[in-house]
């Protein structure tokens, strides 16, 4: 049984009505308050507002389903991955508002560092505890330090098992190899691909092998110096380039394998500032 089964038709109907009402309500507001220094930003602001409204609606559709689910199963404890953005905070708040007696255990999901700003907003709020789990388990010692500094509370360290260790052990490193392994994230694959294709390959004689995230849907054809691989069999690499949005940064630090991280000047660097002296950054 999944949470969606607790969504009723009236929830969807009410949500659609509220969305249409909100769009109509603010339509005239944006038509008169979207000029900045004589420039007309009505279309841009209206588009952003409508997208935000739809994204919020994707959360609100669960507003009644969550308490129904919790009631049906008489939930006393919940273990969940920490989605440290609007969905995660919405979920935890919904559980807290239903019952403060339910214990919530949060497990780190993906990257977390002192460069992420979500908790900066939450910890300044008077009702911050309604958005936070009772206990947090970090996946690595580096994030554990940053969690502590952000929240000023005890953070537990958990073992991730040996999956990533097996992944790292399957990567063969050879100093004289002309092959470079590229491990992009789910959100910056296009940035990394076009940076390497248009700029980076011109400054060296390396061949770049992209191993994409399983959820990545970016497609490109193999070229002379850029290729896509599904596994590492038969390949040895002189260097590994990792997305700064990937939690693999922590695994490579622990493994002490050689690696570099791409740092785009137009994107916020998500790598912890505590690690700046331990990582080789490719600035672009």
pLDDT values of the chain reduced to their tens digit, one per residue, 284 residues: 789 999 999 999 999 998 888 877 776 666 667 778 888 888 888 888 888 888 888 899 999 999 999 999 999 999 999 876 778 899 999 999 999 999 999 999 888 999 988 778 777 777 788 999 999 999 999 999 999 998 888 899 987 554 588 889 899 999 999 999 999 988 899 999 999 998 888 777 899 999 998 888 888 999 999 999 999 988 999 999 999 999 999 999 988 889 999 999 998 899 999 999 999 999 88
Query: Are 131 and 223 part of one and the same domain?
Result: no
pLDDT at 22: 81
User: How far is the C-alpha of 192 from the C-alpha of 148, rounded, in Å?
Assistant: 31
Query: Are 177 and 264 part of one and the same domain?
Result: yes
pLDDT at 31: 66
pLDDT at 44: 84
Task: Specify the number of domains making up the chain.
Answer: 3
Instruction: State the chain's maximal CA–CA distance in angstroms.
Output: 65
pLDDT at 24: 78
Query: Are 34 and 139 part of one and the same domain?
Result: no
Query: Are 231 and 249 part of one and the same domain?
Result: yes
pLDDT at 161: 52
pLDDT at 30: 66
pLDDT at 7: 96
pLDDT at 122: 79
Query: Are 260 and 192 part of one and the same domain?
Result: yes
Query: Are 276 and 178 part of one and the same domain?
Result: yes
Boundary of a domain, candidates 74, 93, 124:
74
Query: Are 221 and 121 part of one and the same domain?
Result: no
pLDDT at 99: 96
What residues make up the domain containing 125? 76-159
pLDDT at 59: 92
- DSSP line for the chain: --GGGG--HHHHHHHHHHHHHHHHHHHHHHHHS-EETTEE-HHHHHHHHHHHHHHHHHHHTTTTHHHHHHHHTT--EEEEEE-TTHHHHHHHHHHHHH-TTSEEEEEE-S---TT--HHHHHHTSTTGGGGS-SEEEESSHHHHHHHHHHH-S--EE---TTHHHHHHHT-EE-TT--EEEEE--SSSHHHHHHHHHHTGGGGS--EEEE---TT--------SSEEE-S--TT-EESEEEE-TT-THHHHHHHHT---EEEE-TTS---S-GGGGGGSEEEE-
Query: Are 180 and 131 part of one and the same domain?
Result: no
Handedness of CA 118, 123, 129, 130 (dihedral sign): negative
């Amino acid at each position: 049984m999944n949470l969606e089964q607790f969504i009723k038709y009236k929830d969807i109907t009410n949500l659609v009505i509220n969305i249409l009402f909100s769009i109509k309500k603010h339509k005239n507001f944006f038509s008169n308050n979207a000029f900045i220094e004589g420039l007309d930003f009505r279309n841009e602001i209206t588009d952003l507002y409508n997208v935000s409204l739809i994204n919020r609606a994707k959360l609100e559709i669960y507003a009644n389903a969550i308490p129904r689910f919790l009631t049906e199963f008489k939930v006393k404890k919940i273990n969940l991955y920490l989605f440290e953005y609007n969905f995660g905070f919405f979920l935890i708040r919904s559980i807290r508002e239903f019952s403060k007696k339910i214990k919530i255990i949060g497990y780190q999901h993906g990257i977390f560092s002192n460069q992420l700003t979500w908790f900066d907003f939450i910890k300044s709020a008077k009702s911050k505890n309604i958005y936070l789990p009772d206990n947090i388990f970090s996946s690595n010692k580096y994030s554990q330090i940053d969690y502590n500094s952000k929240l000023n509370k005890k953070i537990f360290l958990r073992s991730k098992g040996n999956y990533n260790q097996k992944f790292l052990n399957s990567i063969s490193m050879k100093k004289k190899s002309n092959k470079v392994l590229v491990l992009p994230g789910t959100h910056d694959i296009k940035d990394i691909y076009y940076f390497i294709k248009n700029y980076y390959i011109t400054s060296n004689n390396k061949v770049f092998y992209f191993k994409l995230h399983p959820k990545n849907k970016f497609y490109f054809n193999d070229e002379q110096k850029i290729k896509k691989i599904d596994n590492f069999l038969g390949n040895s690499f002189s260097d590994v380039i990792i997305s700064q949005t990937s939690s693999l940064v922590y695994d490579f630090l622990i493994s002490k394998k050689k690696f570099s991280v791409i740092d785009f000047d137009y994107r916020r660097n998500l790598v912890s500032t505590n690690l700046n002296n331990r990582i080789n950054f490719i600035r672009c």
